[in-house]
Structure 1
Amino acid sequence: MTHSLATEITPYTGIVYTSFQERATFITHGKTAQLAKQNGDPVLARICGTIAADEKRHENAYQKMMEKLLEVDPTDAMLGIGDMLGQNIRMPAQLMYDGENPNLFNHFSIVTQKLGVYTIADYADILEFLIERWKLEKLVGLIGKAHEAQDFVCRLPRKIRKLQERVEERAHKMKPQTMHFSWTFNKEVTL
C-alpha cells in the first residue's frame, strides 16, 4: 500500500497525530527531566517533569477519543490512522529556526538521538503502544482499503526497527562531529 501525504487534516488524522505527538513529548520531557536531575539541575528536572505529566494527560485524552472513533466508525478511523502514520509523524520542533542554522532541526535530532532523549526506537515504541492500545491487529469489520491500512500500520514498527538498526550501524562507523547551537552561545558540541 502506498501512502502519500494527506491532502487535508481530518478529525481522524488530527487525533492520530496528537495521540502520537503527545506521547512523544511525554517521553522526551520525561527523559530530559532525568538527564537534568542526573546532571545536578533539580529545577529543570522539576519543570520538565511537570510538562511530562501534562503531556501524559493530553495523550490519554486523545487516545481515548481515537478508541471511541474506532468503536463507532472503524473503517474511517483505520483509514485516518493509516494515512497519518504513513506520513512519518513530524514533530512541531521540525519548524524551529534560530535565524542562523538552516539545518537546526536535523542537528537537534542528532543530539536527541545521541543523548537518548528521543530516538528511532522511541518512534517504533510509540507505534507499538498505539497499535496495542487501540487493538488495531484485532479490528474486524473493516471495509475496502481499511484492511490495507490495518496491515500497513501493524507492520510499520518492524520497518522502523530495521531503519533503527541501519542508523545505529552507520552511527558506529561515523567519526565524531562538532556542531554549534545559537542557544548554547555557539558553544561547540561534539557528537
Structure 2
Amino acid sequence: MALDNIRLEVMQLLEKKVDSFIDRFLIPVDKIWQPTDFLPDSQNEDTFFDEVKELRELAKELPYDFWVVLVGDTITEEALPTYESWLMDVEGINQQEGGNAWSRWTRYWSGEENRHGDVLNKYLYLSGRVNMIEVERTTQYLINDGFDIGTDRDPYKNFVYTSFQELATYISHNRVAKLAKEYSNKSLSKMCKIIAGDEMRHHNAYSEFVSSIFEVDPSQMMIAFSDMMKKKIIMPAHLLRESGQAVGSAFEDFSWSAQRIGVYTSQDYIDIMQRLIDRWDIDKIMDLTDEAERARDYLMKLPARMQRISERLVIPNDIFEFKWVQPAIAK
C-alpha cells in the first residue's frame, strides 16, 4: 500500500474524532474574547481619547528590542492566510463539496488565530511607536512570499510542525506579556497573555492529533517526527523582509532581538523538543519497525546534542535598526 494511502486512511479514521477535538480545544464565537475587549472603545467619545492617550503614554516606556519583537510577532500572526492555505492542502483535509471535519477544524482554528494579528495590529497603530506603513509592507511581503516548512502534504509531519510551533508562539507571547507587566503596561500584558492562552490550547490540540496517530501508526509517526527534527523546525516568519530588501533578510536580526530580551531562545527550541518527546512517550512506544527504532534513538539523543551546540552560541549585542521601529521613535 502506498505511503500516502496509509496516511489518508489514518486521517479518515481519526476524522470521526475531530468534532470532539473542536469541542475540547476551541471556543464558540459568541463566548471567546474579541480584539475590541482589549482596546479603547471607539464608540465611547467620553473615554476613547483618554484611553488612547494612556495607551500611548505607557507605550513610551517599552525598549527598542521589545518593539521589534512585538512587531515581528504581529506580522507573523497577520500572515495567517499562508498558514490556512497550507493546512487546507494537507492529505486528508478536504475542502471540496462542503469539506470534511478536518477542513472544519482548520477553518475554526484559523478563525481563532485571526484575532491575534487583529488585536496586535490595532495596538501598534494606536501606540504611535512604530512605522505602520513599513509594518504593513512587511506583512504583505510575508504573505506574498509564502513558505515551505518541509512537510509537503504529509499530515504526520504537519501535525508535528503545528504542535511545535503553537508551543513556541505560546512561549513568545507569554514572555512578551511578562515583560510588558514589568514595564507597568498591564493592558498590553493582559492582551498578550490571553493570546498565549489560545496558543497553548491549540498546541494541546495538535499534540493530541499526533498522540492519536501514534496509537494507530506508530512506526510511520515516529519516522515523521524524526524527519522533522532532522530538518529543524522552520519558523513561519523565516522569509521575513522589509521593503526593498531580499527575501528572508530580516528574520535573523528579528531572532537576535528575541534572544537578547529572552522572549524566544535557542534553549526554548531544545526545551520544546524535549517536551514533545516526553508528551508523546517516545521512549515507551512499542512494536516499531527497525527504521522507526533508529528514528526513536535519534530523537532521544537529539536534545543533549542540541544543548552542546546551543552552549557555543554567541548572541550579538549590536542592535539592528529596522524600518518598522526606528530608535528615535521607540525612545
**TM-score by structure 2 length?**
0.52
2:323 corresponds in structure 1 to: 182
1:99 corresponds in structure 2 to: 243
2:121 corresponds in structure 1 to: none
Q: Which moved more, 1:139-148 or 1:68-77?
A: 139-148
| Residue type of the alignment partner of 2:318 | Q
2:230 corresponds in structure 1 to: 86
Q: Aligned runs of 1:65-76 on 2, under 5 Å?
A: 65-76=209-220
Query: Which one of the candidate residues 163, 166, 169 is aligned to 2:312?
Result: 166
Q: Offset at 1:153?
A: 1.2
- Structure 2 CA distance for aligned equivalents of residues 40 and 94 of structure 1: 31
| Residue type of the alignment partner of 1:9 | R
1:57 corresponds in structure 2 to: 201
Contact 2:166 2:203 in 1 (8 A): yes
Query: Which one of the candidate residues 149, 155, 173 is aligned to 2:295?
Result: 149
- Structure 2 CA distance for aligned equivalents of residues 16 and 104 of structure 1: 26
Q: Offset at 1:101?
A: 4.8
What's the C-alpha RMSD, in Å, of the aligned pairs? 1.9
| Residue type of the alignment partner of 1:124 | I
Contact 1:96 1:105 in 2 (8 A): yes
What are structure 2's unaligned runs of at least 5 residues? Answer: 1-148
Q: Offset at 1:188?
A: 9.4
Q: Offset at 1:186?
A: 5.4
User: What percent of counterpart residues are identical?
Assistant: 38
2:192 corresponds in structure 1 to: 48
Where does structure 1 differ by over 4 angstroms across 4 or more consecutive aligned residues?
186-189
In our comparison, the structure showing a higher alpha carbon Rg is 2
- Structure 2 CA distance for aligned equivalents of residues 117 and 67 of structure 1: 28
What are structure 1's unaligned runs of at least 5 residues? Answer: none
Change (3 A) 1:36 1:132: same
Contact 1:26 1:53 in 2 (8 A): yes
Q: Offset at 1:185?
A: 2.9
Number of residue pairs matched? 180
